[in-house]
Amino acid sequence: MIWNKKLIAELFKKPFFDLLKQAHDVHHQNFNHNQIELCALINIKTGACPEDCGFCNQSAHFKTGLKKESLMSLEDVVEKAKKLKNMGVQRCCLGAAWRTPPKKEFPKILEMVTEIKKLGFETCFTLGFLDKEQAEQLKNAGLDYYNHNIETSPEFYASVVSTHTFQDRIDTVETVAKADIKVCCGGLFGMGETREDRISFFLSLINLKSPPESIPINRMIRFPKTPLQDVKVLHMFEYIRTIAVARILFPKSRVRLAGGRIELSESDQALCFYAGANSIHVGDVLLTSQNKSYVSDLLLMKELGIQPIQPKYL
């Protein structure tokens, strides 16, 4: 199938349950549909980001009251990672609020990759923009995945960010892929974009030279004191439709319920899993926002007859 905007729009227009059934069938054909990948995100550096992304409370441009924190020590990162290992997390992702990793901090980042890898995790980082040399160094250190979301459509992007361009994000994703690091790339929905923007977003993902092996689908959290604090809430059915469309367009990729999952009810999550979401971030906090509790996640999976994927280190 060669996808274009018209064909993607036709997916979005399908009756809700017909769309979910199609997505479920695609999921069933490509994955064990009763398994969920558990991931976790360690926030290794908080706040003071020089970018002005209107959805982010870590931007230095907005007075959100978020406390700035410097880069976490290697020892603290390893300690947190060991706790995640006891939770059965398969992929450990480390994130820092930077435009691009500072040269003086980069050796510490490479050490973190090595030490996290030793614990048996799949490793992932999200550090902002990378150049060719940085990507190659991360690959040599053992990095498995790099997350860099394109967030929304190229048409809508400039209305929420002015300090960099949509193409800047595409360039980093391509740089990562060229370094033979697996691409984790998704979007943020509910920023005031239209369905047409969501369609254009997906086409941009499809047109990447290396399709993402992992696609986080984030739901907008309206942080106080940010430009998007009063944006209209995205209807839950539209969010679930977006999950289903992602599954159909990327049948072999992990589709992850990521930021904003705190606002999803158990029934909402069940529909997302049925529609093809097969990965979640676990832990009580996701970067700077609340997340579903680990206990509630396990209870929900048990109710649904879903099993966490057993990590390779077990």
Encoded tokens for 157: 């992007």
Q: What is the tens place of the pLDDT at every residue in 152-194?
A: 999 999 999 999 999 999 999 999 999 999 999 999 999 999 9
Q: Which of 39, 56, 92, 272 is catalytic?
A: 56
Q: How far apart are CA 20 and CA 164, in angstroms?
A: 36
CB under 8 A, 24+ apart: contacts of 50-54: 50/99, 50/163, 51/99, 51/128, 51/161, 51/163, 51/164, 52/161, 52/162, 52/163, 53/151, 53/160, 53/161, 54/160, 54/161, 54/191, 54/226, 54/227, 54/228
- The pLDDT value recorded for residue 220 is 87
Q: Which of 39, 91, 92, 93 is catalytic?
A: 93
- The pLDDT value recorded for residue 209 is 87
Highest average pLDDT, of 58-67, 261-270, 290-299, comes from 261-270
- The pLDDT value recorded for residue 46 is 77
Q: What is the tens place of the pLDDT at every residue in 68-109?
A: 777 889 999 998 898 888 888 989 899 888 888 888 899 999
Q: Tell me whether residue 272 is one of the annotated catalytic residues.
A: no
Q: Which of 39, 91, 92, 184 is catalytic?
A: 184
Residue type, 237: F
Q: What is the tens place of the pLDDT at every residue in 108-162?
A: 999 999 999 888 889 999 999 999 999 999 999 999 999 999 999 999 999 999 9
DSSP letter at 241 equals H
Mean pLDDT of 263-292: 89
Helices (H), 31-73: none
Encoded tokens for 114: 């090595």
Q: How far apart are CA 272 and CA 24, in angstroms?
A: 10
Q: Are 11 and 246 in contact (CB under 8 A)?
A: no
Confidence bin at 280 (pLDDT 50/70/90)? very high
- How many other C-beta atoms can be found within 10 angstroms of the C-beta atom of residue 154? 17
Q: Which of 49, 92, 185, 272 is catalytic?
A: 49
To the nearest whole number, what is the mean pLDDT of the chain? 91
Q: What is the 3-state secondary structure (H, E, C) of 108-137?
A: HHHHHHHHHHHCCCEEEEECCCCCHHHHHH
**Interacting residues of 192 by C-beta distance below 8 A, sequence separation 6+:** 159, 160, 228, 231, 232
Q: Tell me whether residue 184 is one of the annotated catalytic residues.
A: yes
**Interacting residues of 185 by C-beta distance below 8 A, sequence separation 6+:** 147, 148, 149, 150, 173, 205, 208, 212, 214, 215
Which class for 260: exposed (0-12), middle (13-18), buried (19 or more C-beta within 10 A)? buried
Q: Tell me whether residue 93 is one of the annotated catalytic residues.
A: yes
- The pLDDT value recorded for residue 66 is 66
Domain layout of the chain by residue ranges? 5-301
CA dihedral 82, 83, 87, 88 (to 10 degrees): -10
Q: Are 256 and 41 in contact (CB under 8 A)?
A: no
Q: Tell me whether residue 56 is one of the annotated catalytic residues.
A: yes
Fold of 5-301: TIM Barrel (3.20.20)
Mean pLDDT of 191-218: 94
Q: Tell me whether residue 53 is one of the annotated catalytic residues.
A: yes
Q: How far apart are CA 97 and CA 118, in angstroms?
A: 25
Q: Are 54 and 160 in contact (CB under 8 A)?
A: yes
Q: Which of 53, 92, 185, 272 is catalytic?
A: 53
Q: Which of 91, 256, 261, 272 is catalytic?
A: 256
The partner residues of 146 in beta bridges, in order of sequence, read 125, 183
Q: How far apart are CA 197 and CA 180, in angstroms?
A: 29
- The pLDDT of residue 227 is above 90: no
Q: Are 53 and 59 in contact (CB under 8 A)?
A: yes
Percent of all residues in the chain with a pLDDT value above 70, rounded to a whole number: 98
Burial 65-104 (b: 16+ CB within 10 A, else e): ebeeeebbebeebeebbeebbeebbbbbbbbbbbeebeee
Confidence bin at 223 (pLDDT 50/70/90)? confident
Tell me the pTM.
0.92
Q: How far apart are CA 275 and CA 262, in angstroms?
A: 19
Q: What is the tens place of the pLDDT at every residue in 39-55?
A: 998 898 777 788 888 88
Q: Which of 124, 198, 247, 272 is catalytic?
A: 124
- The pLDDT value recorded for residue 314 is 60
Percent of all residues in the chain with a pLDDT value above 90, rounded to a whole number: 64
Per the model's pLDDT, the better-predicted residue between 11 and 262 turns out to be 11
